[in-house]
């Protein structure tokens, strides 16, 4: 008869009682960061589409449509514009900075051109949902998107999820990583606000303690037995 060792029982007990000690997120600070992001000047990135109109160029045709260029920011962050000697590096620059760069570049080539630059289509931005959801992967970001909406778009939770410990991983512009903890049960009860997402956020839905224990039993006990036990292992049903 198979008897698990004392160490196995300890590990199993720890799995059953697993719980993160990370504090819940500061809703006011998250909302403030979200507002600041939404109010900032748009920063250009690869696959953004720009419309550049340049009037009063010597030798241009009488049709104003010939002076309008639709360009896409390249994977390296550059755009190629007609009548300029080379590409311009606009990736990572704000729209106002890119507009100034384009105007100054044309002023080097022509006298007093009239120039307008506008963003006609932004590249797709995403948030990422992984862990105990039915359709993990990238979700197109929409301004104002919350964690609950992103999880719903990922097919909602598996029953093995730990609703009390949903993680948000956010990479700051300086490259540092921050982790937030959200209690989904508290959100559903109206005791805690939903989490406002920003592009690039990663939502990790942890497994519950009992599901972790079931997976541990399946990996270290059931699969080592010389015979097959009936029924699926706890935490392995999808």
CATH number reported for the structural domain that contains residue 116 in this entry: 3.30.1950.10
Query: In DSSP terms, which residues pair with 146 in a beta bridge?
Result: 196
Whether residue 211 sits in one domain with residue 134: yes
Residues in the chain: 238
Whether residue 132 sits in one domain with residue 116: no
Count Cβ atoms below 10 Å from residue 162 Cβ, excluding itself. 24
8 A C-beta contact, residue 209 and residue 231: no
Whether residue 153 sits in one domain with residue 116: no
231, part of any domain: no
Overall domain count for the chain: 2
Whether residue 176 sits in one domain with residue 134: yes
Domain that holds residue 86: 49-121
Q: What is the mean pLDDT of residues 70-79?
A: 93
Which of 89, 121, 153 finishes a domain? 121
pLDDT at position 146, please?
95
Indicate the range of 34-38, 78-82, 173-177, 220-224 predicted with least confidence. 220-224
Whether residue 77 sits in one domain with residue 33: no
8 A C-beta contact, residue 202 and residue 168: yes
Which of 121, 140, 161 finishes a domain? 121
- What sections of the chain are H helices per DSSP? 6-16, 27-39, 95-107, 147-153, 184-188, 209-220
**Alpha-carbon distance 199 to 140, whole Å?**
9
Whether residue 183 sits in one domain with residue 162: yes
Whether residue 129 sits in one domain with residue 107: no
**Alpha-carbon distance 141 to 203, whole Å?**
13
State the pTM of this model.
Answer: 0.64
pLDDT at position 19, please?
44
Whether residue 63 sits in one domain with residue 154: no
Whether residue 198 sits in one domain with residue 164: yes
Whether residue 110 sits in one domain with residue 201: no
User: 228: pLDDT confidence band, cut at 50, 70 and 90?
Assistant: low
pLDDT at position 83, please?
87
- SS3 (DSSP) at 22: coil
- SS3 (DSSP) at 213: helix
Q: What is the mean pLDDT of residues 22-29?
A: 75
Whether residue 172 sits in one domain with residue 140: yes
Q: Which residues contact 205 (CB under 8 A, 6 or more apart)?
A: 129, 130, 131, 132, 133, 151, 157, 161, 162, 166, 167
Q: Which residues contact 216 (CB under 8 A, 6 or more apart)?
A: 11, 12, 15
205, part of any domain: yes
Sign for the CA dihedral angle at 216, 218, 224, 225 comes to positive
**Alpha-carbon distance 33 to 147, whole Å?**
15
Which of 121, 149, 168 finishes a domain? 121
């Amino acid at each position: 008869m198979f008897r698990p060792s004392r160490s196995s029982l300890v590990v199993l007990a720890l799995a059953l009682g697993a719980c993160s000690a990370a504090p819940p997120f500061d809703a006011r600070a998250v909302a403030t960061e979200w507002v600041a992001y939404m109010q900032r000047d748009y920063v250009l990135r690869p696959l953004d589409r720009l419309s550049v109109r340049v009037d009063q160029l010597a030798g241009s045709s009488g049709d104003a449509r010939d002076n309008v260029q639709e360009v896409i920011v390249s994977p390296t962050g550059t755009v190629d514009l007609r009548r300029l000697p080379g590409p311009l590096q606009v990736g990572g620059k704000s729209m106002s900075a890119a507009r100034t760069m384009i105007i100054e570049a044309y002023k080097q080539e022509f006298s007093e051109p009239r120039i307008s630059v506008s963003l006609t289509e932004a590249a797709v931005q995403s948030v990422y949902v992984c862990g105990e959801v039915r359709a993990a992967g990238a979700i197109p970001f929409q301004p104002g998107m919350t964690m609950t909406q992103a999880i719903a778009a990922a097919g909602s939770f598996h029953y093995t999820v730990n609703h009390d410990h949903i993680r948000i991983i956010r990479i700051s512009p300086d490259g540092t990583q921050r982790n937030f903890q959200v209690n989904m049960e508290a959100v559903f009860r109206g005791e805690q606000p939903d989490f406002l997402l920003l592009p690039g956020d990663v939502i990790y839905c942890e497994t519950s303690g009992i599901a972790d224990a079931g997976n541990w039993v399946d990996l270290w006990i059931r699969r080592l037995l010389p015979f097959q036990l009936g029924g699926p292992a706890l935490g392995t049903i999808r």
